[in-house]
Chain A
Amino acid sequence: MIEMENVTRLYPRGQEIIEALRGVSFRVLPGEFACVRGASGSGKSTLLNILGCLDRPTSGTYRLECDNVSQCSDRQLSAIRNRKIGFIFQSFNLLPRTTALENVEIPMVYRDGRVDRRRALRALDRVGLGGRASHFAAELSGGEQQRVAVARALINDPALILADEPTGNLDAAAGRDVMRLLQDLNREGRTILLVTHDDAVASYASRELLLADGRIASDRAAFTSGPAMGGSR
Chain B
Amino acid sequence: MNPGKLATQAARSMRRYPLRTSLMMAGIVAGIASLAALASIGEATKRETMRRFKNMIGTFDTIMVRPGGGRSRGMPTLVNVPPTLRFDDARAIATNLPEIKAVAEMQSAFDIDVKYRDRAASPAVFGVSANWLSLRSDEVEQGAFFSEEQDQSLARVAVIGPELRKSLFPDDDEPLGKTIRIAEVPFQVIGVLHGRGAGPAGGSLDNLALIPVNTASRRLFNRDYVTMLIAQLKDPSRSEDAVAAVTALLRERHHIRPPALDDFAVTNPAAVMARVTQASGTLEKILTGVAVMALMVGGIVIMSLMSIAVSERRSEIGIRRAAGASRGDIVMQFTLEAAFVSLSGGLLGVIIGWGGLEAATRLQKLPPVFVWQPLGVSLLLSLAIGLAFGGYPAWKASRVDPAQALRS
Contact = CB atoms under 8 A, between A and B. Distances in A.
Please report whether the interface of chain B is mostly helix, strand, loop or mixed according to DSSP.
Answer: helix
A81 B327 CA distance: 13
Given A93-B319, A115-B5, A110 B325 contact: yes
A74 B326 contact: yes
A75 B401 CA distance: 14
Q: Contact residue range for chain B?
A: 20 to 34
Given A87-B322, A109-B6, A115-B5, A102 B408 contact: no
A45 B316 CA distance: 19
Contacts of B327: 74-75, 78
A25 interface: no
Interface string A80-97: 011100010111011101
A8 to B, nearest CB: 15
Contacts of B401: 55
A49 B6 CA distance: 25
Contact of B402 (A54, A91, A107, A110): A54
A98 interface: yes
Contacts of A82: 323-324
A134 to B, nearest CB: 14
B16 interface: yes
Contacts of A102: 12
Interface string A146-178: 000000100010000000000000000000000
A81 B9 CA distance: 19
B64 to A, nearest CB: 69
Nearest to A77: B326
Contacts of B322: 52, 54, 81, 87, 93
Contact of A107 (B6, B315, B323, B328): B323
B407 interface: yes
B2 interface: yes
Interface residues of A, number: 32
B204 to A, nearest CB: 65
Interface string A104-117: 00110111101100
B390 interface: no
Given A110-B323, A152-B323, A55 B403 contact: yes
B328 A109 contact: no
B321 A54 contact: yes
Interface of A: 45, 49, 52, 54-55, 74-75, 78-79, 81-83, 87, 89-91, 93-95, 97-98, 102, 106-107, 109-112, 114-115, 152, 156
Interface of B: 2, 5-6, 8-9, 12, 16-17, 315-316, 318-329, 401-403, 406-408
A107 B319 CA distance: 10
A9 to B, nearest CB: 10
A109 B10 CA distance: 11
A54 B324 contact: no
A110 B4 CA distance: 11
A106 B2 contact: no
Contacts of B318: 93
B325 A78 contact: yes
Contacts of B408: 89-91, 93
Contacts of B9: 109
Contacts of A79: 324, 326
